[in-house]
Structure 1
Amino acid sequence: MAQKINDFKFLIGSWEFEKGKGKIIENWKIQGDSLIGNSYQYNHKNEGKLTETMVLKKINGIWYLCVTGYEAGNEGETNFKLVSFKQKTFTFENKGHDFPQNIYYQNQGKKSLLAWIEGFIDGKTMKITFPYKRKY
C-alpha cells in the first residue's frame, strides 16, 4: 500500500461531533512526515478532557495509527496497521486489541468526516460511529 502523507491531509483541522449533552472534538495537524491528532470529550457544562492522542506515521515503511488512551480502562498505546484504502475510506486494524480491533476514517469532503470503530466484545460485534463536522 503506497499511501503518502498527502493522502491523509483531509484529516487536518478541527472536527466536532455533538452527542447527547456533550461533544467530542478531534484535532489534527501535520508534523513532519506524520499527522498528530488529539481527541477531547466535553460534558454539558463544556468542561473538556483529553481522552486520547493519535499519531499517523510510518513504521518500517508501513502506515500505522498509533493511539494513546488516557481514560480509565483505556490507558496506554495501541498501534493499528493500515490494511485498506478504498472508496475514500482508510481501515486500520489490530486483531490483538480488546476493543476496537478496527478504526475507520472516511473522507466525506471538506465539511464532513466519518469515523467509526468496530470489534468484538464478549463475542458480539460492536460498532460506534462518529459523524464529525468541520469546525475549522
Structure 2
Amino acid sequence: MLKIMSLLSLCLVFQTALHAKTCDTLESLTWLLGNWKSESKELQINESWKQLSSNTFEGSAYTFSIEKNAIVSSETIRLVEMSGEVFYVVKVASNDLPIAFKLTTCTAETAVFENSLHDFPQKLSYHMNKEGNVTVFVSGEKGKRFSIEYIAGNAS
C-alpha cells in the first residue's frame, strides 16, 4: 500500500511539472494580450496589453468612477524579458519610481508576479478561466487583498 501511495504521489508531481511552462520568456504570457474590462455600479476598470517586441509587452490600466464621472487612477505597465527572467514593471502616480515584480510562477492559464519588499501589493496573480476571462488577485501585507474580474472587451 505504501508503494502504491508513493507511486501515485510521484505521478502527480510529474504531471504537474509537465503542465507548467518555463517562466523565463514572454511567449508563455501571450494570453494576456488584448483589452480587458471590469464593471460594477461604482467603477469601470480597463486594462490593455500589446506586444511591442519579442521581449516587451506594454500595458495600461485605469479606473473610472461612475459617480465622479472621472478617471480616479491610472497606471502604465510593462512586461519585460531580460537576463532569462520576466518582470512586471508598473508606474503609478503614488510612487516616484516604477515598481518591479518578478514572474515567479506560470502555466498556460496563470502568471504570478511577486515583490516581497513592496508594501502593497506584494503579489499579482493573473488567472485565465475556461470562458477566456481573466481574474487578477492582488495581495500584500497583513492579509490585505482584492480581486478584479475582467472580461475581454474594447478598452475606451
Tell me which interval the TM-score lies in, with the shorter structure as reference length.
0.7 to 0.9
Unaligned runs of 5+ in 2: 1-21
TM-aligned CA distance change 1:87 to 1:32, over 3 Å? closer
The structure whose Rg is larger is 2
TM-aligned CA distance change 1:8 to 1:22, over 3 Å? same
TM-score (norm 2): 0.75
Aligned partner (choices 45, 59, 76) of residue 97 of structure 2: 76
Q: Quick check: 1:10–1:110 contact (8 Å CA) kept in 2?
A: no
2: distance between equivalents of 1:4 and 1:117?
Answer: 22
Instruction: Give the RMSD, CA atoms, in angstroms.
Output: 2.0
TM-score (norm 1): 0.85
Q: Quick check: 1:110–1:134 contact (8 Å CA) kept in 2?
A: no
Pairs aligned (count): 131
Unaligned runs of 5+ in 1: none
Q: Which residue of 2 aligns with 1:39?
A: 61
Give the % identical residues.
26
User: Residue 62 of structure 1: CA displacement?
Assistant: 0.6
Q: Quick check: 2:28–2:107 contact (8 Å CA) kept in 1?
A: no
Give the helix-richer structure, 1 or 2: 2
Q: Which residue of 1 aligns with 2:39?
A: 18
User: Residue 14 of structure 1: CA displacement?
Assistant: 0.9
